[in-house]
């Protein structure tokens, strides 16, 4: 198996512009610094061809920003992204490069299919718009082309002449998937793609993703705040906290032998059948601000194992068992 995607020391900062009052104060000699949100902080990992890598963490941990950079929607602040060993986005020898040809091979499916579908366009036009624009198909072939793709996502030909509001949430997400497939991507970033659906529909859409992976040889980066969803779909799991990766391992390893206290806390929140636990329990404490992250280990204000060392020293990210990496002082 070869690596299809390499994420190499990628960071993304957002600079909050200073308001008028602060500008006026600056004019009189005082100085207000611009606030910088460190949304993604020096993240590296690889994705193997055909793999489903799940990225999990609470909202605000930087997983969606990471997904948007990989899909070519957001520029990087530093680091670089390689696709099939070809550099396509980020910095190389100090220069920013972006290869939009590779963007076509990487598509993104969003959480809310309704807001991402033009309500005035018929489904046939929504699905065929990008492949016609990129000259992958001709206008005269679009009917056959769209019919085939609708069939792949489990929708009938009659869907072609209807509008987005005429479909249920699950059907609209299938249309979103069909639109992404229309470009013949190799890699799909799914950003909370089933979060807005009923639980029964979620299972159907997960099964569709897995079938399409098999049929079309796709690779997925599957982003979710719900570690229970990740357990169902991912081969490997990347756990993020406050813009950084805190643990990575195969799905089997993460769910049988989680190492990082944050991963363990996420798992404790998942309702299970065997313990008859039906209610999601959030992790105690607030997520700190990414503008002013805590010293040492970013998780220390919420961690029940925190020591003085955790407050002062950043833990190194190291291999705790074969292909299982974690950043915690308890492994020292």
Chain residues binding ligand SF4 by CB under 6 A are: 260-261, 297, 299-300, 303, 305-306, 310, 315, 328-330
Beta carbon of residue 298, minimum distance to ligand SF4 (angstroms, whole number):
8
Spell out a b/e string for 133-162, using b for 16 or more CB atoms within 10 Å of the CB, else e: eeeebeeeebeebbbebbebbbbeeebbee
Q: Judged by CB, which is closer to ligand SF4: 108, or 297?
A: 297
Query: Residues 282, 265: contact at Cβ < 8 Å?
Result: no
State which residue, 182 or 242, has the beta carbon closest to ligand SF4.
242
Least separation in angstroms between residue 254's CB and ligand SF4 is 15
Quick one: 47 or 328, whose CB is closer to ligand SF4?
Answer: 328
Measuring CA to CA, how many Å separate 329 from each of 155, 237, 264, 307?
A: 51, 21, 15, 9
CB of 304 to ligand SF4, least distance (A): 8
Identify the DSSP state of 190. Answer: E
Buried b (16+ CB within 10 A) or exposed e, 52-63: bbbbbbbebbbb
Nearer to ligand SF4, 68 or 260 (CB): 260
Q: 30 vs 332, which CB is nearer to ligand SF4? A: 332
* Cα distance between residue 230 and residue 219, in whole Å: 15
The CB-of-66 to ligand SF4 minimum distance in angstroms stands at 21
Name the minimum Å distance from CB 231 to ligand SF4.
21
Q: Is the Cβ of residue 163 or residue 317 nearer to ligand SF4 in the bound state? A: 317
Q: In sequence order, what are the beta bridge partners of 109? A: 190
In whole angstroms, how close is the CB of 312 to ligand SF4 at the nearest point? Answer: 11
Q: Give the span between the Cα atoms of 130 and 51, in whole angstroms.
A: 26
Contact 170, 202 (CB under 8 A): no
Please say which residue, 34 or 308, places its beta carbon nearer to ligand SF4.
308
Least Cβ distance, residue 153 to ligand SF4 (angstroms): 41
CB of 305 to ligand SF4, least distance (A): 4
- Is-contact 297 328, C-beta < 8 A? yes
Q: Is 27 helix (H, G, I), strand (E, B) or coil?
A: helix
Are the C-beta atoms of 102 and 187 separated by less than 8 Å? no
Closer residue to ligand SF4 (CB): 172 or 260: 260
Distances (CA, A) of 143 to 116, 160, 183, 212, 244: 22, 8, 15, 21, 45
Looking up tokens 């590779």 gives 102
Give the strand pairing for 35-48 and 95-98. unpaired
CB of 288 to ligand SF4, least distance (A): 12
By beta-carbon proximity to ligand SF4, the closer residue of 39 and 242 is 242
Q: Which two tokens stand for residue 121?
A: 């366009």
């Amino acid at each position: 198996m070869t690596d299809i995607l390499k994420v190499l020391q990628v960071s993304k900062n957002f600079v909050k512009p200073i308001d008028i009052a602060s500008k006026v104060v600056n004019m009189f000699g005082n100085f207000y610094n611009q606030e910088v949100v460190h949304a993604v902080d020096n993240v590296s990992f690889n994705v193997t061809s055909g793999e489903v890598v799940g990225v999990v963490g609470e909202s605000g941990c930087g997983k969606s920003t990471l997904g948007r950079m990989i899909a070519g929607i957001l520029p990087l602040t530093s680091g670089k992204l390689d696709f099939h060993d070809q550099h396509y986005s980020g910095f190389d020898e100090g220069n920013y490069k972006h290869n939009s040809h590779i963007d076509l091979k990487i598509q993104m499916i969003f959480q809310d299919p309704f807001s991402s579908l033009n309500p005035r366009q018929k489904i046939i036009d929504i699905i065929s718009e990008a492949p016609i624009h990129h000259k992958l198909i001709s206008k005269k072939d679009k009917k056959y082309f769209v019919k085939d793709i609708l069939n792949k996502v489990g929708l009938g030909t009659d869907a072609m002449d209807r509008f987005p509001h005429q479909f249920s949430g699950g059907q609209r997400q299938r249309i979103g998937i069909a639109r992404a497939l229309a470009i013949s991507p190799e890699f799909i970033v799914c950003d909370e793609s089933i979060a807005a659906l009923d639980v029964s529909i979620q299972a159907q859409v997960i099964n569709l993703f897995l079938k399409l992976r098999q049929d079309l040889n796709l690779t997925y980066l599957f982003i979710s705040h719900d570690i229970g969803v990740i357990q169902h779909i991912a081969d490997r799991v990347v756990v993020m906290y406050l813009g950084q990766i805190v643990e990575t391992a195969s799905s089997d390893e993460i769910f049988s032998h989680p190492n990082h206290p944050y991963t363990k806390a996420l798992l404790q929140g998942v309702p299970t059948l065997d313990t008859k636990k039906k209610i999601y329990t959030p992790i105690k404490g607030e997520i700190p601000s990414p503008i002013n992250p805590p010293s040492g280990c970013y998780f220390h204000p919420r961690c029940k194992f925190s020591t003085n060392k955790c407050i002062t020293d950043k833990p190194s990210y190291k291999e705790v068992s074969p292909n299982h990496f974690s950043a915690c002082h308890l492994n020292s």
